[in-house]
A and B are shown apart, each in its own frame.
Chain A
């Protein structure tokens, strides 16, 4: 990670604030469909994985994400989001190919202007956010994780 001698600057933004929803285009890929999705979902918990097709650690964590999706995917809107310029510099087919190759089987969306990444203050890839049904972030992390970590991170956004 980056090192620096300079003092820390506050990140800003109150973690208890609800995130304003953003509507993104979805990608036609296994488990996904061509259309739109509003994130975070207005009425239920949401789990967002930020990945990119050029990101090697994102490949490494796909089996754990898939296992987490298998276990708890029904209880949240479970979605992977790429900040790439899908439809521009990166084709939709390239994203779908990557998805197929790494056994993705859930919703994939494209954040082409990085609007959702900005609202959720993404600091690198992969990153993940669990957001509760009221739109508040309950788990924010970057780097790869085990299946157990994903499941318990997602559970933080569930009211039970």
Chain B
């Protein structure tokens, strides 16, 4: 389903069985947000940044998930799932990548059990939430951490990394994406995400030949393929706020 068809179907469905919560979200959509967004504008305008930001189309690219053996296309999620994207590599010698993955992983845990784990759920008063939900929304979100170090991050390395970072690979919503080559990874990050990736020597770090000074960017796109939030300081992003943003976007 393309974006226009989806918007039409949304409009058609809005009158049928729409809950109070949904009506509230659509109100936000019409009032102050960019076209096709659920959330209002971010506190800080990032539209001049080189990376995609609020209201932009989510970059559409295809890359292999070496663990499932699938080719994953971002476009395939349109109409189906919101997307939480970041870029990382498993040999990250500082804490940046684990901090990014922690944020995605926490959103994954809350998606699987929203009432149990997210007391700050923004729309429903506690007494109603306890009675009616929200239901798990694991099937309405996709986590797409993309490695820019495909030479070292093969299926085995990524699977091991998932284990130690507490990622649930069985949930069916987590895809480590591994571009076919380092060149392809560079191209993808540069052309689609405005991020320059460059190998640098890492003689100072034991057992590491090269490293990447890199950005800690996380991007949240809605089911229409529109960017809702860019978190350029991903490793420092407030986790509960990010999880709330994801939940509002997914359940809108």
Contact = CB atoms under 8 A, between A and B. Distances in A.
Interface string A4-29: 11111111110000001000000000
Contacts, number: 122
A89 B163 contact: yes
B99 interface: yes
B235 A117 contact: no
B238 A124 contact: no
Contact of A124 (B106, B231, B235, B237): B235
A77 to B, nearest CB: 22
Contact of A2 (B96, B102, B163): B96
B102 A117 contact: yes
A11 B234 CA distance: 10
A117 B239 contact: yes
A118 B239 contact: yes
The bracket for how many chain B residues form the interface is 35 or more
Contacts of A8: 44, 232-233
B243 to A, nearest CB: 7
Interface in B47-105: 49-51, 94-96, 98-99, 102, 105
Given A1-B96, A85-B163, A115-B117, A11 B49 contact: no
A71 interface: no
Contacts of B46: 6-7, 9
Interface in A33-60: 52-55
Nearest to B50: A5
A9 B163 contact: no
A54 B91 CA distance: 12
B235 A2 contact: yes
A83 interface: yes
Contacts of B141: none
B240 A13 contact: yes
6 contacts: A2-B233, A4-B215, A5-B49, A54-B164, A118-B240, A124-B99
Interface of B: 42-44, 46, 49-51, 94-96, 98-99, 102, 105-106, 109, 117, 119, 162-164, 166, 213-217, 230-241, 243
Interface of A: 1-13, 20, 52-55, 83-85, 88-90, 112-115, 117-119, 121-125, 127, 142-143
Given A84-B164, A114-B105, A115-B106, 14 more contacts: A1-B96, A2-B96, A2-B235, A7-B44, A52-B98, A52-B164, A83-B102, A114-B166, A115-B109, A117-B239, A121-B236, A122-B99, A124-B98, A124-B99
